[in-house]
Amino acid sequence: MDARRVAVVIEDEADIRSLLSDVLEQAGFTVHSSGTGAEGVELVREVHPVVTTLDVNMPGMDGFEATRRIRAISTTLIVMLTARTEEIDALQGLDAGADDYVTKPFRPREFRARIEAMLRRSRMGLPETPPAEVGAPPRVDAPSQTAVDPDGADWLEHHGLRLSIGMRLATVDGVPLELTRSEFDILAELLSARRRVIGKGELALILRGDRYTGSEYISESDSRVIEVHMANLRRKLGESPARPRWIETVRGVGYRITAP
């Protein structure tokens, strides 16, 4: 078993907690579980999981607060579980810092496949530790270009926004950005595509580790997940959708970076 495949399950219902643990163990994870949000946050701090699942509705510390506290100390992939009638809760969870959500009841095979697909993303499969602060890299004047710093890192640039896919670092006007996994991947995809428009469906599949061919079915929920991630990304960038500095919306199609 790969020692790096560590997961934390935070769920107050014992039967669901046991089911999730079994599914993840069968997928090759070492699983640590907790019945409360507070205990779950401490587990994440201690074991540095690559995947964390948590329920939205828990007594005491709910899933939203647990997500916010986990996101402050870890870059673990956070998957929220919610009932189908509580989809708005899941979207609020994404706003708190979760990467994805799964509705109850769920099929174990589909849950496992979704986790594995997300782990195929190039940034996954490594031990999770809180991101270290770094100094601002030297700037290059030309926007939407790739620059190579003396340390060997490749940086995508656009209007003062700089992003290194290899180092998973992003800065705006020299100030480091604190992005979730999904926010970083969306931003990297848009910068890499330059002025090509990327649809919500394509972004949704990219976040799952798949590539868009045009024939895949993308649910309304998947589209809303991307909209929430994009809203959070814009908030962290400090830009307005009406007068964007970096990302513009192509109505009815998707998103692209602004003109140089």
> 146-257 architecture in CATH?
Orthogonal Bundle (1.10)
Is there a common fold for 6-119 and 146-257? Answer: no
In terms of pLDDT, which residue wins out, 52 or 134? Answer: 52
Pick among 3.20.20.220, 3.40.50.300, 3.30.1330.10, 3.40.50.2300: CATH of 6-119: 3.40.50.2300
Q: For position 16, what pLDDT does the model report? A: 94
- Determine if the peptide bond prior to 105 is cis (ω within 30°): yes
Indicate if the pLDDT at residue 140 is higher than 80.
no
CA atoms within 13 A on the CB side of 49: 25
Q: In this predicted model, what pLDDT tens digit does every residue of 228-247 receive, in sequence order?
A: 899 989 999 999 888 999 99
3-state secondary structure of 149: coil
List CB contacts of 182: < 8 A, sequence separation 6 or more: 99, 100, 207, 229
C-alpha separations of 233 from 115, 154, 170, 180, 229 in Å: 23, 22, 12, 9, 6
Domain chopping of the chain, boundaries: 6-119, 146-257
* pLDDT tier, 34 (very low <50, low <70, confident <90, very high otherwise): very high
Q: Give percent of the chain with pLDDT exceeding 70.
A: 81
Burial class (CB in 10 A: 0-12, 13-18, 19+), 82: buried
pTM: 0.69
Indicate if the pLDDT at residue 13 is higher than 50.
yes
Lowest mean pLDDT among 54-58, 136-140, 174-178: 136-140
Q: For position 83, what pLDDT does the model report? A: 79
Separation of alpha carbons 206 and 229, rounded Å: 13
Q: In this predicted model, what pLDDT tens digit does every residue of 38-61 receive, in sequence order?
A: 999 999 999 999 999 999 889 899
